Structure 1
């Protein structure tokens, strides 16, 4: 039941974010549609609120509901790019380590240790400094997003690599894999049809958890001012702007972005937990893997 609710919540958030240009009352990416005279208006149910801005407006006069839609879309896009691309890299390296072993495995494990020792905050600050230096000190939205994607990607490949390495080592010792080798089956065919299917389940769980972590990391980096600027709506920048004004009584500026971020990450984590529990019986069965 919890997984179904989480999946429904995630679908609603993703569909709303993707449909932002169609359902948002205001295009927050267009400065011409923003009026500073409308800044800091409260939600419609509070005194001074209006149906033109149902969740109120931020410091720049942007409709907060529209900013949440566009900001969620940007955050989801960054998290998706920062999760899927490293996942493919991690899957390949993990399978290579699990199948080949020896020095190759030690080298890949050493790379994992190095990547884990570099904080994403430091990586983002360094990448942002390099990109700003090459662009005259100003980053576009795509450039700022690239900073966060690169910072998250530096460690996002580790969990898929560790998961696929463990499964590849187990699958390599199973009877059907050893039998395939004895009859002369090519190594690429064994890898593709016998070992890879066993690795996909754990990697899917790792990627799902990594996606939720990437959303949080983007929000953290944007909150700290690394990467996306205040005029580039994302969940992190909206929370940062709201935090600066929450003590002045403008609670809606922080509460709504935090609520969306919490629901999004909670839904992803619940789905990852369900996925891991669903796949666990298959993984626990020594002969339950793919047999090609």
Structure 2
């Protein structure tokens, strides 16, 4: 039986299709992701192309308000960019940073947690103390510190070119202990089971036992954590952009769009901040709701059949 046929007959799909909240959050998430990554095709204009931007079109209201321009459905921002286009491109940037940061967190955390849990002893103590020290510094503290140094060292113009990989590195590096502690706890529970003892008896090397036998049985909590961490990473990027240490205004993300319009909010140009804020809330909410459903489904103590 093929993988697709097994998936169609799985209890996972059966439960998912009968949970309106899970289906609704998944559809919302797919909509945001597809809209963001199809921005070069679907967006009315390219906010990176200065030839398509005119300062004379700045702060135009949405199409249903007086003084609107039919070419700007959701209005324009203070730079004269079409707000719908900047939201689409900004959603793509935010999702890329979220996925990239979580991938880095997972790689570091799984590797460290797996080695610490399986090897034990002094190595375990050292790695977990490093994780404890890392957890004592918040993501924002690490990002603000490194972001300020990076902008001072490279300058604003150079920082604009490296902003995305820099934020992926900073947010990913700051949050790896969450994965390491979770994986370590799962490894400690798994390594004393019979199948691990049997693998040792037949002479399999430790590396093979860790990666081929123990790791697959520790990925369930990692999957649940990843959904939550993607939302946290997107929120971290938005917060850093809002205080000026994330994405620059010239390269829109949802956070930088909210920041760019905040100073015009009370002057009447509320749409520059409100619309990106609504998209950010919807994106975070859909990820968190889907993550909550997966946590309940994968935890037999919580999930009610």
Aligned residues of 2:57 and 2:80 also touching (Cα < 8 A): yes
Number of matched residues? 284
State the alpha-carbon separation in 1 of the partners of residues 245 and 35 from structure 2.
Answer: 26
From the superposition, tell whether residues 232 and 279 of structure 1 become closer, same or farther in structure 2 (CA, over 3 Å): same
**1:138 equivalent in alignment to 2:157:** yes
Aligned residues of 1:53 and 1:64 also touching (Cα < 8 A): yes
**1:251 equivalent in alignment to 2:278:** no
Aligned residues of 1:87 and 1:156 also touching (Cα < 8 A): no
Please name the residue that 1:22 is paired with. Answer: 41
CA-to-partner distance for each residue in 1:229-275, whole Å, 9 max, x for gaps?
22221101111122211111222111111110001111111111112
**1:164 equivalent in alignment to 2:209:** no
State the alpha-carbon separation in 2 of the partners of residues 104 and 196 from structure 1.
Answer: 19
In terms of mean alpha carbon deviation, does 68-77 or 148-157 score higher? 148-157
Please name the residue that 1:40 is paired with. Answer: 59
Aligned residues of 1:121 and 1:151 also touching (Cα < 8 A): no
CA-to-partner distance for each residue in 1:183-216, whole Å, 9 max, x for gaps?
3233223222320111111111111111100000
**Among residues 277, 280, 286, which one is paired with 2:296 in the alignment?**
277
**Among residues 53, 69, 94, which one is paired with 2:88 in the alignment?**
69
Deviation at 1:282, TM superposition (A): 9.3
In terms of mean alpha carbon deviation, does 63-72 or 103-112 score higher? 103-112
Alignment of 1:105-254 (within 5 A): 105-254=124-273
State the alpha-carbon separation in 1 of the partners of residues 143 and 212 from structure 2.
Answer: 38
Please name the residue that 1:90 is paired with. Answer: 109
Which ranges of structure 2 fall in alignment gaps of 5 or more residues? 1-19
State the alpha-carbon separation in 2 of the partners of residues 12 and 258 from structure 1.
Answer: 16
From the superposition, tell whether residues 73 and 108 of structure 1 become closer, same or farther in structure 2 (CA, over 3 Å): same
Aligned residues of 1:37 and 1:61 also touching (Cα < 8 A): yes
TM-score under structure 2 length normalisation: 0.88
Aligned residue for 1:139, secondary structure, equals: helix
State the alpha-carbon separation in 1 of the partners of residues 302 and 292 from structure 2.
Answer: 15
Which ranges of structure 1 fall in alignment gaps of 5 or more residues? 285-292
Q: CA RMSD in A?
A: 1.8
